Each structure stands twice: as C-alpha cells, then as structure tokens.
A and B are shown apart, each in its own frame.
Chain A
Amino acid sequence: MAMLEIKDLHVAFPKGKKSEVEALRGVNLTLEKGERLGVVGESGAGKSMLAFAILNLIAEPGRVSQGSIAFHGENLLELSERDIRSIRGNRISMIFQDPMVTLNPVLSIGTQMVETLKAHRRISDAEARKLCIAKLKEVAIPSAESRLDAYPHELSGGLRQRVVIAIALLTDPELIIADEPTTALDVTIQAEIMALILKLCRDKDVALILITHDLGVVAEVTERIMIMYAGLCVETGATQQIIQAPHHPYSAGLLKALPQFAGRGTRLYQIPGSMPPITALPPGCAYHPRCERATDMCKAQIPPLEHGCACFHPLDQTEAAS
C-alpha cells in the first residue's frame, strides 16, 4: 500500500447561487515512503489547492466535492477535525511560501517550537528545548542555542525559512508538503534552502511534495514530477525522463520556453495565449486553444491520463527527445 494515495480528487467553489466551478477536476496521485514529488504548474493550475486538500485546509466556501485521499489507507477526508490534527503538523508537515505566515511574530522561536512539540508529544520543557536546539542545528542555523530566544523579525528571510523547516521536522514527519518554499527568497538563499530540504529528505527518508512553478528547482530536488494545467494532471513520470523527453505538448512547450535552452540571440519558443481561468474553461482538453497539435477530438473530449500523459496526440519518442 502506498503511503499517500489520492483518487479522483475534485475541489469545487460556488459560483453565483447555484452553480459551482472546479479548481481540481479529478487528480490522481500516489506517493511512496521517502519519495520526492514535484508538482509544477502556472498560477491557477490548482497545485496549491492540491496541498490544501491533502491537509484538509480548503478555505470556505470551497469544498472537496469528490474523491478520496488515503494516508496509510485511512481516508483523510472522513476523519474528524480532532483526528486530522493528530496527522497534520505531526505526520504530515507543511512549509509555506512566506515564513511569516507560519511563524507568530509576537512569540519567540523557542516558545513556538516547544508549543508545536508539546501539542503532539508528552515531553518536558527541558527535553523539548534540547530537541529544538538539535533541530535548529540540523538545519544549520548558526549559534542555535541563542537563536531560540530570538523573535522571527530578528532573523533574515533565509534563516526564518530554516526555522520553519526545523519546525516542520520537529515531529519527525513522514511527509513534508512544501508550497513554493523559496519563491520569496533570493537565488543564493533559494539554493541553500533547497539543498537543505533535499539533504534532510534523503537523510531521514521523508517524502516530499514540492509545489513550485520553477522547473529548475524540481529538476534538482525531486525524483518524480506531476505537471498540472487547469485543475488536471497533464503529465507525470520520472523527473529527468520528462525533462529530457516530455510527451505532453504543454510540458514540452514549458521546457522549450526556458531561456536556458535557447542560444543567445535566438528566439525563445513561446506558447501562445495564457491559461484560461477555471471559470471559463474550454470544452475538451483545456490546453487545446494553445496547442499546435490540437484536432477536433481535443475540442470535444477530455483526454484521459494514460501512460503518464493526458493527450490524444502526444509527442513520440523522437519528437520528445529533440
């Protein structure tokens, strides 16, 4: 049995009085212990929604309208708020984009860490503090003992995100969900933080769901990739395989559009148009208006996800590799 298994997940938001729009339109996902998965997509593709759904944190008035999320075989959607709290922040941890969302500005870092720990473990204050210092050292925070009494605003952005990671690791989770953990940070700090997350996941055999728009970061950190478009997974598979030979025209377009691949003075490949908002999805494959391979079939039917690619006209081996 897989550690996490999501089946046919739909998330809907009310539109007007009667109708609903779907932010996720049937997403399937399995994650094994210690596996690192990258979820890639543009803003509005539904990638953050997926993370929130797993933690049962979808904000009102949105709701999971269909599907199941099984964690070690237990459907998270059917758990009581009390039971879900014993999993969320404990066996599944979360790292958000903005560390200030996770950290309370009026409490010292030590207080927050000890609180988190005591919420999930029976442990004395002294032991908790000792453990916190150990975790801060693990995330390479210099002079960890003295930082425990610091307040979040006294730390730089990079150190704050390290503290958030230390908090996420406190309870020795089996899965970490990181939602754009480095988008707000500078490139050199991003490299530090991603290298740290990668090392910790490897050392402790922790599974990771990394949500990002940055294909480079995904390539560096994850083993498997899931590319999302307009609330659906359009392609999934081993990271390097997809990066070297994407089959879905959208994945191929995204990769070709990266400036790294175009020589100087040459034009970048560009996907025309932009992703439709979930309130105005075209019929059939949501990507067809932007796709150069689209046919009448694409306009009528939603292509199913087969062999890791949801496309009626995928690129074949030779096309994909070029």
Chain B
Amino acid sequence: MISLKGFITRFLSDPVAIGAGSVLLILVLMAILAPFLAPQNPYDLMQLDIMDSEMPPSWKPGGDERFLLGTDAQGRGVLSTIMYGTGISLLIGIGAVIVQGVLGVTLGLIAGYRGGWIDAFLMRLADIQMSLSTLMIAIIVLAIFQAAFDANTYADYAIFMLIVIIGVAEWPKFARTVRSSVLGEKSKEYVDAARVIGLPPRKIMVTHILPNTLTPVLVISTIQVAEAIMTEAALSFLGLGMPTDRPSLGSLIRSGFEFIFSGSWWITLYPAIVLVVLILALNLLGDWLRDVLNPKLRRGDD
C-alpha cells in the first residue's frame, strides 16, 4: 500500500512521470477549455469562409496570423479543430474505458469470487470476445449502422456508438485482471474473517475484495484509454468514426490525408503529432503507475 504522500513524492522525483503528467494535463486543459481558448469555433458554419481554405501555417508565405497552424479544406483553423478534436478523442477514450471497466470489473469479480461453472462460462466468453479483433467488430457494427441510418442521425449518435462498441469489445482485459486479483485476495484471511461474521457474498465482494483489486484496474485503465483513442482514430481514419463536421483527431488526420500530395501537409501532420504525444503520455504514465503501485518492484522507504 502506498500513501498519498508517498505517491506524490514518487511522482515529483521522476522526470518521466512529471513530463508525461504535465503534457497530459496541458492536452486535457486545452480540450476542456477549447470553447474559450480556440481562435475559432470550427462547428460554427457562420465563421467559416471557403476563401480561407488550405492556408499554410502563419509563418509560411501565404499564411494568415488568424490561423497559427494553417487551415483545412473547409477553411477551419487547424489549431482550433485540434483543440476540439482532442476533446472528442479523450471523451471517447475515457467513455469507452468506463464502459469496459464497469463491465469487466463486475464480470471479473463475479467470476473470481463465485468460481465453478460461472467462472468457466464467463472466462470462455472472454476468450471468444478476445479472439474477435476489436477493430473487426467495430468495422462491421459501424458499417451496418452507417448504412441503416442517414448521415445526420449517424452524426448525432457517433460518439455514443463508438464508446459502446469499443467499451463492449474490450471488457475481457479488465475482467481477466480483476479475476486474477480476486483469486489472490479471496484466499486471504480477512475474507474468511468477513465470512465468519456472516456477511453475504455480495457484500464481501463489493466492500472487501473489490477495493483491494482496484490497483491493477487503475493501471490498465490508463493504458486502455490510450488504446481506445487509437482504435477510435483508426476507425475514423477508415471513415467509420467521427463525421468530418465533428472531427476527432483520427478524422482530422483522415480529412487532411488526401491533401498531403497537393502540398497541404499541415492539415494531417499537426493532429497526428498531437495524437502521438497524447498516446505516448498516457502509456508512459500507465507504465509509471504500474511500477509505483506494484509493491514487488518498489524499494526504499515509502
């Protein structure tokens, strides 16, 4: 067990953690405060001017100082779309992980504590789910969804659909992690002590075992957010994710991709850099968390 104070001390003594943490903080703040910070509102069609399209970054010849990182084909400022797009990517990533977590932790807890055929059934279900690639499921479901509804309905529900699909497809990761730590905790004597009192199994699972399995959940959550953002970006790149008028980082990269050869590289490059930085920061933070929270790897006095 690590105290909050020890945790902060560890964080402040690790340059990688500070770096990753502050990059993430900046990106998150940027996304949340986008409506106040962004030079333009890319969703507001009134602000768009087709005459502004495909302008290079402001320091290049032909650039405009209103658009620091240039504009895309519809005349939206790349900086503004990145700010809004990061928000959408993060929203989908975090939302999907919440769905994964709730499903996975619940099923993992039940499988681990109950054991027997329930465990066998849930874990085989997890195996089947894992053998179907997330991307494949998402492509099929989204393609059907896109074909079945008109573009406006699709645009309205795209975020929700992406969250649910990525969430449901990845629950086995949480379920397996939780199940294995439940198996470890279940044999400890404090669980026996709770059974001696006569607490019902549901209460033992939720109030005794669950809190002691959350450490690994926290670690994989960070890495899964990165994973979900990547999945969403890949789907958007394939044209199955967010529509271009409410772009995520993935759809921004896609929308600029066709202009790379006409010389407008900035439309793709800048969102791509932000995506890479965001994923890297999340992964570094996840690795760091795993090291800090794993008592076997920890040394010293905390």
- A15 close to B299 (CB less than 8 A): no
Is A263 an interface position by the 8 A CB rule? Answer: no
Q: Give CA–CA (A61, B301) in the complex, Å.
A: 13
Q: Give CA–CA (A61, B13) in the complex, Å.
A: 18
Please name 8 pairs of A and B residues whose Cβ atoms are closer than 8 Å in the assembled complex, sorted by A.
Answer: A14-B300, A15-B300, A15-B301, A16-B300, A16-B301, A17-B13, A61-B299, A279-B301
Q: Give CA–CA (A16, B6) in the complex, Å.
A: 11
Residue of A nearest to B299 (CB): A61
For A1-45 the 0/1 string (1 means CB < 8 A from B) is 000000000000011110000000000000000000000000000
How many residues of A sit at the interface, in one of the four size bands? Answer: under 10
Contacts of B301 in A (CB 8 A): 15-16, 279
Q: Give CA–CA (A318, B300) in the complex, Å.
A: 46
Residue of B nearest to A19 (CB): B301
Residue of A nearest to B13 (CB): A17
- 5 new A-B contacts, CB < 8 A, other than A14-B300, A15-B300, A279-B301, are A15-B301, A16-B300, A16-B301, A17-B13, A61-B299
Residues of A that sit less than 8 Å from B by CB:
14-17, 61, 279
Q: Which residues from 285 to 302 on chain B have a C-beta closer than 8 Å to any C-beta of chain A?
A: 299-301
Q: Give CA–CA (A16, B299) in the complex, Å.
A: 10
Closest 5 pairs (CB-CB, A-B): A15-B301, A16-B301, A279-B301, A61-B299, A16-B300
Q: Which residues from 246 to 302 on chain B have a C-beta closer than 8 Å to any C-beta of chain A?
A: 299-301
Q: Give CA–CA (A17, B300) in the complex, Å.
A: 10
Q: Give CA–CA (A98, B300) in the complex, Å.
A: 25
Contacts of A16 in B (CB 8 A): 300-301
Q: Which residues from 1 to 49 on chain B have a C-beta closer than 8 Å to any C-beta of chain A?
A: 13
Contacts of B299 in A (CB 8 A): 61
Q: How far is the CB of A270 from chain B (nearest CB, A)?
A: 25
Residue of B nearest to A59 (CB): B299
Residue of B nearest to A21 (CB): B301
Residue among A15, A16, A279 with most chain B CB within 10 A: A16
Q: How far is the CB of B297 from chain A (nearest CB, A)?
A: 14
Q: Give CA–CA (A14, B300) in the complex, Å.
A: 7
Q: How far is the CB of A60 from chain B (nearest CB, A)?
A: 9
Contacts of A279 in B (CB 8 A): 301
Q: Give CA–CA (A61, B298) in the complex, Å.
A: 12
For B200-227 the 0/1 string (1 means CB < 8 A from A) is 0000000000000000000000000000
Residue of B nearest to A61 (CB): B299
Residue of A nearest to B9 (CB): A16
